[in-house]
Amino acid sequence: MDKLKVLVTDPVDEAFLEKVKPHVNVEVALKLPEEELLKKVEDVDVLVVRSRTKVTRRVIEAAKKLKAVIRAGVGVDNIDMEAAKERGLTVVNTPREPAESVAELTIAFALCLARKIPSLDRSMKEGLWLKGEMGMELKGKTMGLLGLGAIGSTVARLARAFGMRVIAYDPYVSEEKARELGVELVSFQELLSSSDFLSVHVPLTPETKGMIGRNEIASMKDGAFIINTSRGGIVDEEALYEAIKGGKLAGAALDVYVKEPPPPDHPLLKLDNVVCTPHVGGSTSDAQLRIALTMADDLLRIARGEEPLNKVKTW
Ligand code: NAD
C-alpha cells in the first residue's frame, strides 16, 4: 500500500516528524500564501496545522484526496468545520495536551495583575522606584471561570492552591465534577457579579462570540479584572477598553485578540494596566512535546486504517 502523503503547514515539534517519518511521506511547508497552499494540498491525504493555517472551504475543496486534518492544539475555529463535515473529513486535535501550560499562563496573568508586575518592571527600567505602589493577594479573592473544561479545571486546581474561592459557569458540566474540583457552579449573572478575576475558558462559537460585552461588564464587580487566554472576540475589545479606561475594571490580561497580531495602534495595547502576550498560551516546550507525540500516534492510527483517538465530534 502507498504511504500516506502528509503536509505540515505550521511549526510542530521535531518529535512528531521523527515518529511519523518511517511510516508516511511528510513534507513541511511553512507560511504558504493561500494560492500556494491551494496547489500543494491537491494530492495530500492528511494536512497538519496549528492555528496559523486557515483550513477554509476553498482549501478543503482543492484538497481532492484529503482524508483528515490534524490540528496541533485545541481550538478548531481555524478549520471550516461545516465544509469538513460535508466532505466527511476526519478532524483530529490534541484536547488535553496544552491545558497545564494555558492554565499556568492564566495564573501568571492573575499574579501580574494583582501585583502590577509588568508596569513596575517598566517603571524600574525607566529609572523609577515606585515603592509606594500597592498590590493585592490572590488569597481570599474569587476566581470566576467561564468554562470548566480541560483548561478551566486546571486553572481551578491552581487557583485553589493559592487559597482562592473558585466559581464557574458552564451549563455542560455536572455538579459532581465541579464538586470534585472544589468549584461552585453558579449562574452566568452570578459569575459576573461575584468574580474578582473573570477568566475565559470557553471555545469561540456563535454562542460565545461577544459573550462578555458592554452589559455583562457593567454587571461585574467594580475593580475586577478580566483574563482571556481562550480566543479573541469572546470578550468585546471595545467594551473592555472603555471599561478599563473609565475605571470600572482595574485591568485585563490578554493572550488572544480579534485580529492576530492586533494592529500596533490597538487601544488596549496603550493601557498600562493591560498585560498582553502574543497567543503563547500553549507555547511551552512541554506542551508542544506532548502535542507532537499525541498527534503522531493519531496520524499513525489513520495510516493503519484505524480510528484516531482524538477525533473532534461534530456530527
Ligand atoms: P474544553 O472543550 O475542554 O472546555 C471548554 C468548556 O467550555 C467545556 O466544558 C464547555 O462545556 C464549556 N462551554 C462551551 N460553551 C459554553 C457556554 N456558552 N457557556 C459556558 N461554558 C461553555 O476546552 P479547553 O481545552 O478547556 O480549551 C478552552 C479554549 O481555550 C479552547 O477552545 C481554545 O480556544 C483555547 N485555547 C487557547 C490556547 C492559547 O494558546 N491561548 C491554547 C489552547 C486552547
Among 14, 86, 260, 306, the one annotated catalytic: 260
pLDDT of residue 313: 81
103 in the same domain as 93: no
Please tell me if the CB atom of residue 251 comes closer than 6 angstroms to any atom of ligand 1: no
Do the domain assignments include residue 42?
Answer: yes
pLDDT, position 314: 66
Residue 186 Cα to ligand 1 middle (Å): 17
pLDDT confidence of residue 75: 87
Shortest CA distance to 154 belongs to which of 96, 90, 197, 225? 96
Measured distance CA(195)–CA(207) in Å, rounded: 21
Residues 139 and 271 in one domain: yes
Residue 2 confidence (pLDDT): 86
d(CA 142, CA 224): 10
Measured at the CA of 96, the angle between CA 5 and CA 115, to 5 degrees, comes to 125
Q: Does residue 103 fall inside a structural domain? A: yes
How far, CA to CA in Å, does 260 sit from each of 58, 77, 264, 284? 21, 14, 11, 19
Check pocket membership of 151 for ligand 1, CB cut-off 6 A: yes
Which DSSP state fits 229?
-
Q: Are residues 70 and 189 in the same domain?
A: no
169 lines ligand 1 (CB under 6 A): yes
List Cα–Cα distances, 188 to 176, 195, 270, in angstroms.
19, 11, 30
Cell numbers given for 150: 480541560
Let me know whether 68 and 204 are in one domain.
Answer: no
Q: How far apart are CA 14 and CA 240, in angstroms?
A: 39
Tell how far the Cα of 203 is from the centroid of ligand 1, in angstroms.
Answer: 4
Q: Are residues 115 and 264 in the same domain?
A: yes
Residue 311 maps to a domain: no
Residues 149 and 229 in one domain: yes
Pick the catalytic residue: 71, 165, 231, 290?
231
Question: Does any domain span residue 313?
Answer: no
Structural domain boundaries, residue 77: 5-97+285-303
Same domain, 60 and 142: no
Nearest CA to ligand 1 atom 41: 281
Answer yes or no: do 55 and 117 share one domain.
no
Instruction: Write down the catalytic residue from 50, 165, 279, 290.
Output: 279
CATH number of the domain residue 11 falls in: 3.40.50.720
Q: At 242, which helix (H) or strand (E)?
A: helix 237-245
> Does 269 share its domain with 177?
yes
In a domain, 81, yes or no: yes
Is 266 one of the catalytic residues? Answer: no
Of the candidates 239, 159, 173, the residue with the CA atom closest to the CA atom of residue 202: 173
Residue ID of nearest Cα to ligand 1 atom 43: 74
Cell numbers placing 51: 492555528
Tell me the residue type at 293: L
Domain assignment present for 314 = no
Ligand 1 atom closest to Cα of residue 152: 26
pLDDT, residue 315, reads 54
CA of 205 to the centre of ligand 1 (A): 10
Decide: 20 in ligand 1 pocket, CB within 6 A.
no
Residues 105 and 211 in one domain: yes
Per-residue pLDDT tens listing for the chain (315 residues): 689 999 999 999 999 999 999 999 999 999 999 999 999 999 999 999 999 999 999 999 999 999 999 999 998 989 999 999 999 999 999 999 999 999 999 999 999 999 999 999 999 999 999 999 999 999 999 999 999 999 999 999 999 999 999 999 999 999 999 999 999 999 999 999 999 999 999 999 999 999 999 999 999 999 999 999 999 999 999 999 999 999 999 999 999 999 999 999 999 999 999 999 999 999 999 999 999 999 999 999 999 999 999 999 865
Number of domains in the chain: 2
Annotate 24-38 with b (16+ C-beta within 10 A) or e (fewer): bebeeeeebeeeebb
Q: For 41-166, where are the alpha helices, taking DSSP H only?
A: 57-62, 81-87, 99-115, 117-125, 150-161
Are 113 and 93 found together in one domain?
A: no
Pocket lining: 232 vs ligand 1, CB cutoff 6 Å: no
Residues 241 and 141 in one domain: yes
Within-domain flag for 53: yes
- The answer to whether 231 is a known catalytic residue is yes
Quote the longest CA-to-CA distance of the chain.
71
Tell me the C-alpha distance between 177 and 68, whole Å. Answer: 32
Residue 194, in any domain of the structure? yes
Query: Over the Cα atoms of the chain, what is R_g?
Result: 21
